[in-house]
Structure 1
Amino acid sequence: MDKRYLESSVFEAFQDRLSYVFSEFDYIYVSFSGGKDSGLLLNLVLDYKRKYNIKSKIGVFHQDFEAQYSMTTEYVEKMFEDNLEDIEPYWVCLPMATRTAVGNHEMFWYPWDDEKEELWVRRMPNKEYVINQESNPFTYYKYKMKQESLAKQFGRWMRDKHKGAKIVCLLGTRASESLQRYCAIVNKQHGYKGKCWITKEFKNVWTASPLYDWALEDVWVANYKFDYEYNKIYDLFYKAGLPPRKMRVASPFNDSAKESLNLYKILDPEVWVKLVARVQGANFTSIYGKTKAMGYRSVKLPEGHTWKSFTYFLLDTLPENIRNNYIKKFSTSIDFWNNKGGGLPEIAICELIRKGYNIERNGISNHTKDKKSRVIFLGDIPDDTDDIKFTKDIPSWKRMCYCILKNDHMCKFMGFSPTKEQRMKTEYIKKKYEKFFKIGVKML
């Protein structure tokens, strides 16, 4: 079959990138979730390996989240079993902390939690290449570590296993999936030998995204043209009327998947019954995930409250660890807007001044494209900023309150993102302004 099927050069560029990866690194493994992008990536890599008669096996890392569609499990197993001559499979079923956005009483749930085996959504896979607590050779694993850390530390373990060899993990990440992914790839300052799509994780451990410039349409055209195996849950998604950009096979309880959680009830009812018992809030979210019951924007301020007092009230109703998480995020934001400030367009600054907001300029923001002026708020931040029309990127107690109402533990609505750099920055600010944090806790 002629593989020059696209008018664009994304397929040819991918072939060139694979050639580069195989020439630069000693051991290559694919991170395989069972989704459309990682599935295509695995198929393309296997085709390349066979075409050029590469003898060494390709590692395949699958991080199993326990609660997933039955078709996803079937697809993963089929890809492993059909390609054992060419791959070294690692099917990881270890207890790990995975973020949940279906309730405010749990920040994490724990797939394969050995303390809740009776509630597991499905049985432990029974294959010789499954890594669980009884067969775990993974020396960097820590009990119930975060899922992101587990995936990263797996690369270190692979390096050690191969005696210090240069390791690269291939990811099915595409820049068009989100602006955050685009910026992480295209705007990278320090890639591998000038390659923006390759990132260093540890000494001799790298990740690479050779599909980064592929569009969603390219993925499905390739699956069709090459007649690749893919996860058939996507066919059911399509029949259910789900837009392609919203088709997810990740953990059903995270931010990106919770709106389509109700699909489990329709597409995989046996799994659905167990999901309800597995994580608190799953049933409520599946019913009301797209309604005003989960709609923070429809909330009216209770009589006698300001948005600030209502935020304090909501914080007081939460478990201690969840409450402290929000306090840390909110305190970081308040300190930022009181002392450093964010870059705002001139028209928004003039509007703030005209409407009497207590602000002042604080230099130029180097993080904005057109070098906007930084603005700090003197004294307390506003209760709400509903009267400001020219920007939404300004702080308010209402905005913080919405984070709680949205179960937004990471406070993405306020501009936070879950990067390693920002986590380190938050810890630094917490220590630097420890007295401020203590005052905030006493106020509650």
Structure 2
Amino acid sequence: MKKILRKNVYELVKERLNYIFTKFDNIIVAFFGGKDSGLLLELVYQYYTENKCERKVSVYHIDYEGGYEHTLNYVKRCMGKYSEFDYYHICLPLSASCGISMYHSSWIPWNPEEENIWVNVLPYQSINLKNHEFSFFKFGMKDYIFQQKFSKWLHEKNKAKLTAVLIGIRAQESLNRYHTVTRKNTFTMFGEISYSKRVYHNIFNFYPLYDWKIEDIWTAYGKFEWDYNKLYDLYYQAGVSLREMRVANPFHDCGVHALKLYREIEPCTWGKLLGRVNGANFAAIYGGTKAVGYRQVLLPNGHTWKSYVNFLLQTLPCHIRAIYLKKFNSSKEYWLNKGGALPLSVVVELEKTTIDFQNLGFPKNNRKYKQEYRLIRFKKYPDEVNIKSFRLVPSYKRMCITILKNDTSCRYMGFSQTKDELQKQREAMKKWEKTKFI
């Protein structure tokens, strides 16, 4: 295992759990059915029994309706495994990320209007529309918003003073997760704990496995002979690399490139997925290729990136095209008139190109930057930017990749959810607010 300060990561995680259990009277474990959250559950129980804890511990799992049989079986084995803990197997119609359809940016598992095409039946003792007690729940609410509200609900239900939500994500997995678990902000951390994040006033997320490597995860499973999701054995036999083995919502945009594995590993489940969300078969064939914005995207002959953007927009349904156009025009307005902040290192790269821009000096806002930034305004929206950090700089090529990825939220371009999208979400929630299910 990795050595840090003469201690391995296993010794360090035990110290972290000891700190959390000492400071917090209410512990929640987020269990997703994969190797990391499964290991975290085992580590928490190991600490709990070794130290004869009396803290309240709850375990929750959000079921996305689809998924491999091995994952479903593993979840069944874990939910209720340790009698000392409380369990919440949640099967509610939440809005989940969808990266495979050009018609929808999200999908809703367990949608009662689509029960005839559900991939699976409701698990025994699950929390669903007919029996849930969540006053905060709204039909179609974002899954990550639900998780925040759920932690608050459990905090109040257990009459806790301080609640810690333990989440098994690691810095090694992706750059976004690296920033999530290592970002130091004294206003959002619990004390000086860098692997923590404030959710509400007395509720904090903790990432105690943040510095574990993939090798550490499997070493721990082997050393302690803990149960794990046997899907990983099939992944290994299929030639999937350790870092590419992923268990998640089957239509998540981060897992599009791996959707094709369903065909080889579980053809029966694959048949159900095909009829569940539009675009599944296309994503399975072309996921991870240039066709959907992965790897190096090539410009077709006779096109500039700007003309290619216009061509791609014409292939989309009108309502989806309008979403992209609004955000693309917003990007142009921002970078051509107001200007945007870029790291000084990126500005230095830009100065070596022929792109015409103005350096307006230091950003004039109250944001605290970790590195030196400059306010940049372009005289013409770039067609393509051939620098190492091209994702940070506006270009028509970046627009093309955004469309190819079915990224209607335009996160690839740095956008967050718009007011229009939030309004549509609220309208969907309102539609189902007073609906009762028998």
Q: TM-score, normalised by structure 2?
A: 0.86
Residue 217 of structure 2: SS of its match in structure 1?
Answer: helix
Whole-Å Cα distance in 2 between the matches of residues 367 and 255 of structure 1? 31
Match of 2:327 among 326, 329, 347: 329
Identity of paired residues, percent?
38
Whole-Å Cα distance in 2 between the matches of residues 79 and 311 of structure 1? 47
Aligned residue identity for 1:64: D
Task: Please state if 1:42 is matched with 2:38.
Answer: no
Cα distance, 1:404 vs. partner? Answer: 0.7
Tell me the residue number matched to 1:435: none
Q: Tell me whether 51-60 or 215-224 shows the greater mean CA deviation.
A: 51-60
Contact 1:341 1:362 in 2 (8 A): no
Whole-Å Cα distance in 2 between the matches of residues 261 and 19 of structure 1? 39
Tell me the residue number matched to 2:429: none
Whole-Å Cα distance in 2 between the matches of residues 48 and 349 of structure 1? 52
Task: Please state if 1:150 is matched with 2:146.
Answer: yes
Whole-Å Cα distance in 2 between the matches of residues 147 and 178 of structure 1? 20
Cα distance, 1:290 vs. partner? Answer: 3.6
Aligned residue identity for 2:78: M
**Deviation readout 1:301-349 (Å, 9 max, x if unpaired):** 475x654354345335434553343234323432332222342545433
Cα distance, 1:369 vs. partner? Answer: 6.0
Tell me the residue number matched to 2:10: 11
Aligned residues: 408
Whole-Å Cα distance in 2 between the matches of residues 323 and 202 of structure 1? 37
Aligned residue identity for 1:348: E
Contact 1:308 1:398 in 2 (8 A): yes
Tell me the residue number matched to 1:442: none
Name the CA shift for 1:291/1:19 in 2 (closer, same or farther; >3 Å).
closer
Whole-Å Cα distance in 1 between the matches of residues 322 and 143 of structure 2? 21
Tell me the residue number matched to 2:190: 192
Tell me the residue number matched to 2:381: 381
Cα distance, 1:147 vs. partner? Answer: 0.9
Q: How does 1:91-102 map to 2 (within 5 A)?
A: 91-102=89-100
Tell me the residue number matched to 2:241: 243
Whole-Å Cα distance in 2 between the matches of residues 179 and 291 of structure 1? 21
Task: Please state if 1:348 is matched with 2:349.
Answer: yes
Match of 1:174 among 161, 170, 177: 170
Whole-Å Cα distance in 2 between the matches of residues 159 and 205 of structure 1? 8
Contact 1:101 1:409 in 2 (8 A): no
Tell me the residue number matched to 1:134: 130
Name the CA shift for 1:258/1:399 in 2 (closer, same or farther; >3 Å).
same
Whole-Å Cα distance in 1 between the matches of residues 318 and 202 of structure 2? 40
Match of 1:183 among 159, 179, 183: 179
Tell me the residue number matched to 1:438: none
Residue 89 of structure 1: SS of its match in structure 2?
Answer: strand
Task: Please state if 1:308 is matched with 2:306.
Answer: yes
Cα distance, 1:118 vs. partner? Answer: 0.6
Q: How does 1:247-258 map to 2 (within 5 A)?
A: 247-258=245-256
Whole-Å Cα distance in 2 between the matches of residues 295 and 410 of structure 1? 15
Whole-Å Cα distance in 2 between the matches of residues 302 and 9 of structure 1? 54
Residue 275 of structure 2: SS of its match in structure 1?
Answer: helix
Name the CA shift for 1:389/1:340 in 2 (closer, same or farther; >3 Å).
closer
Tell me the residue number matched to 1:221: 219
Residue 220 of structure 2: SS of its match in structure 1?
Answer: helix
Higher relative contact order (CA 8 A, sep 6+): 2
Whole-Å Cα distance in 1 between the matches of residues 177 and 388 of structure 2? 26
Whole-Å Cα distance in 1 between the matches of residues 318 and 19 of structure 2? 50
Cα distance, 1:57 vs. partner? Answer: 4.7
**Deviation readout 1:71-112 (Å, 9 max, x if unpaired):** 1110011112432x1210100000011111112111111111
Whole-Å Cα distance in 1 between the matches of residues 59 and 407 of structure 2? 32
Q: TM-score, normalised by structure 1?
A: 0.85
Contact 1:347 1:390 in 2 (8 A): no
Task: Please state if 1:25 is matched with 2:21.
Answer: no
Whole-Å Cα distance in 2 between the matches of residues 310 and 287 of structure 1? 23
Contact 1:159 1:167 in 2 (8 A): yes
Aligned residue identity for 1:156: K
Structure 2 stretches lacking a partner, 5+ long: 423-438
Q: Tell me whether 90-99 or 151-160 shows the greater mean CA deviation.
A: 151-160
Q: How much is the aligned-residue C-alpha RMSD, in angstroms?
A: 2.6
Tell me the residue number matched to 2:79: 80
Residue 168 of structure 1: SS of its match in structure 2?
Answer: strand
Name the CA shift for 1:109/1:246 in 2 (closer, same or farther; >3 Å).
same
Structure 1 stretches lacking a partner, 5+ long: 417-421, 431-444
Q: How does 1:51-66 map to 2 (within 5 A)?
A: 51-66=50-65
Task: Please state if 1:68 is matched with 2:64.
Answer: no
